[in-house]
Chain A
């Protein structure tokens, strides 16, 4: 169990790929304090930015657990590429949290910057706050999005959540911005509350379930039927009735949009087509 306390309020971006259970594992406090970290264009040591506290309760701990206390919204790439262990952040955190992570768990009690869980392959990210844009979306230009794992957000998310997603699950218990599930290939996105326009633009597969008000459904989606319920994952079912749309036809896609019928009376015109 390792605790990190930021020593001051950070003003310039910090690239902290080294804050990851994989790198901390098997290192003592001295070694951890000596890890290299970039603050702006200057390379520094971890001890210059964070106070490192080690409290091993049990002698033999299997998993490395890291806890960051305080606002680290300028710190990027925390937990990038991690494969195991636990990382929790009590405060806001910056961009690229859990980028390309393969396993383990990240818990954030605060708000998160853009590209959280970017192109992740496995593991879990739980966020008890709001998330900025490009949740789970890959780096600019890349088409290799989220390949697996779970992301659970209890707040709202920005635009393009789950872009280029290929596998895995994103659950959002708040609102979502525009273009949720952009160019999605496979996998599941659940949005409990309201959702802005252009959901599932250019999607070719996968499903997006929307429990709240949807600003509009793209005209390139066709209505298929009305479903009574839909499964999100094992033991979790959303009860309907829900409109089922298929698309995106511009890409010959077979993606499925489930939209709550109760919250979206403006879509009732579609029922004539059934």
Chain B
């Protein structure tokens, strides 16, 4: 099947195309040089913006904690539901939509690749079952390895190569994509009711520090040549004064970076950028973080922007979620996942009039605007922690328009307004930079060579938005921008037109990407290993791995490791 997207203003930052009027030719799900104009189906994009399909680096859309969140919140489903149509299935949910609805809503916004972070390896089968049921998008998931006992044991003994072999084994066994580290050491400490308060605190029993875990796994990441960096949720997340911890975490891997390649990704950085000693004096630490990131090339960030709405927070950070429960008194779930991690869920309402929430809103945008290089910061809400992913168009409007920011600033808590740096920031991102923070930068950081751009050989994932950059000034007409990004005029996934003006035309299955890490001396499943399984886990080894036939559509990416 051939397709020709004609006359659009193409924004393809990876290939240095910035708003040029050109055609995009598609054949058999790939972008090609050209197709026969008479035989191909023509998609008229004249007067519209053409971008690569959106890539989301961090959104909790599948897995046991997401599903528990769904069970916890019937009131979230009550108001927002979608009826089935001839192409789509029915579904419910606002902040935690059911799997099919998640896929449809992403496709409507022009997103085609999404990454599900924080999969406890023990729950890998559940996560992949839900990912199988998330249509319209390609996806991958990151196993949580920062508090896995095997990792802690080997890093404690300084056996980095041994650790790398086990991480490689785990990556292939759970069909994961990157190393996710959540509150390194803290989750293990939470198992005995404690937490770590800095990156040099000792983890009980293991006698290892978060610094050693982060550095160790960073080395492992490098030894294994994984496409993405380590994906870190810092210690002390959501506590006033934690921007210092975030800076320490970035600094601790400074010497491990090679050339200009990033070595660490600090995820939902907004939650790690609080200055001040308590909730009354909390302020933005965005300036300090942005300054550090501007001067160093080994860090990438994502925003974790807060939206003023009712949402559900869910992380693997059990102690943080417990604190949040104490703060709100809301219903909550907290869980310890055997030898691997913990998790927690608390519904949360971000209010405009709350000082802390308004400061949080401001921090996210400050981070994005003060970081000069757009390739280093990506747009996320840490769905659903900061807000549902369906509010991305609002963030785009805030980033592109000072006027939009001012309109919201007027309505937030007055004390937060006076402390916010936003009134002093004039920067407005243009469409090219939006293409970087929503797709190109994320694809590059993830090491996805065939995503996030429209060069020849790339996957034919294209999003067309109804804005004319020649006649519309996004900084003034921010509502037009918001409307355009809410409903893509056309979404093309794998060379097929799947959505048009917010309507799903075709139900397609996306592939699950996973890393096939090839090490020279793979981990052998010895009796000793099985003994450890019996001792550490409640499942037998035989029930643990996710086999390939478990994934409905899969796309293994082979990685050659140095060990």
Contacts and interface: CB of A to CB of B under 8 A. Distances in A.
B469 interface: no
Contacts of A143: 330-331
Contact of A140 (B75, B329, B330): B75
Interface string B39-77: 000000000000000000000000000000000111110
A46 to B, nearest CB: 21
B205 interface: no
Nearest to A204: B329
Contacts of B78: 139-140, 142
A150 B73 CA distance: 28
A138 B78 CA distance: 12
Nearest to B76: A141
A141 B73 contact: yes
B345 to A, nearest CB: 13
A139 B80 CA distance: 14
Interface in A131-167: 138-143
Classify the secondary structure of A's interface with B: loop
Interface residues of A, number: 7
A137 to B, nearest CB: 12
Interface string A113-147: 00000000000000000000000001111110000
Contacts of A141: 72-76, 331
Contacts of A139: 74-75, 78
A139 B76 CA distance: 10
Contacts of B76: 141
Contacts of A140: 74-75, 78
B323 to A, nearest CB: 17
A182 to B, nearest CB: 14
A185 B227 CA distance: 52
B85 to A, nearest CB: 16
A124 to B, nearest CB: 25
Interface in B316-337: 329-331
Nearest to B78: A139
A142 B78 CA distance: 10
A55 B494 CA distance: 62
Nearest to A144: B75
Contact of A138 (B72, B75, B331): B75
A140 B78 CA distance: 9
Contacts of B72: 141
A138 B76 CA distance: 13
A114 to B, nearest CB: 15
A93 to B, nearest CB: 21
Interface in A197-234: none
A237 to B, nearest CB: 33
A143 B331 CA distance: 9
B401 to A, nearest CB: 33
Contacts of A138: 75
Contacts of A251: 329
Contacts of B73: 141
A201 to B, nearest CB: 15
A32 to B, nearest CB: 25
Nearest to B349: A144
B555 to A, nearest CB: 38
A107 B330 CA distance: 35
B309 to A, nearest CB: 14
A16 B474 CA distance: 43
Nearest to B328: A143
Interface string B76-114: 101000000000000000000000000000000000000
A136 to B, nearest CB: 16
B350 to A, nearest CB: 15
A153 B329 CA distance: 32
B253 to A, nearest CB: 42
A138 B329 CA distance: 17
A223 B24 CA distance: 78
A205 B72 CA distance: 25
Residue of A138, A139, A141, A143 most packed against chain B (CB within 10 A): A141
A251 B331 CA distance: 13
A141 B330 CA distance: 11
Contacts of B330: 143
Interface string A246-261: 0000010000000000
B95 to A, nearest CB: 13
A139 B92 CA distance: 15
A143 B76 CA distance: 11
Nearest to B72: A141
Nearest to B73: A141
Interface in A16-62: none
Residue of B75, B76, B331 most packed against chain A (CB within 10 A): B75
A139 B330 CA distance: 16
Interface of B: 72-76, 78, 329-331
Given A138-B75, A141-B76, 16 more contacts: A139-B74, A139-B75, A139-B78, A140-B74, A140-B75, A140-B78, A141-B72, A141-B73, A141-B74, A141-B75, A141-B331, A142-B75, A142-B78, A143-B330, A143-B331, A251-B329
7 contacts: A138-B75, A139-B78, A140-B78, A141-B74, A141-B331, A142-B78, A251-B329
Q: Which 7 A-B pairs have the closest CB atoms?
A: A142-B75, A141-B74, A141-B75, A140-B74, A139-B75, A139-B78, A141-B73
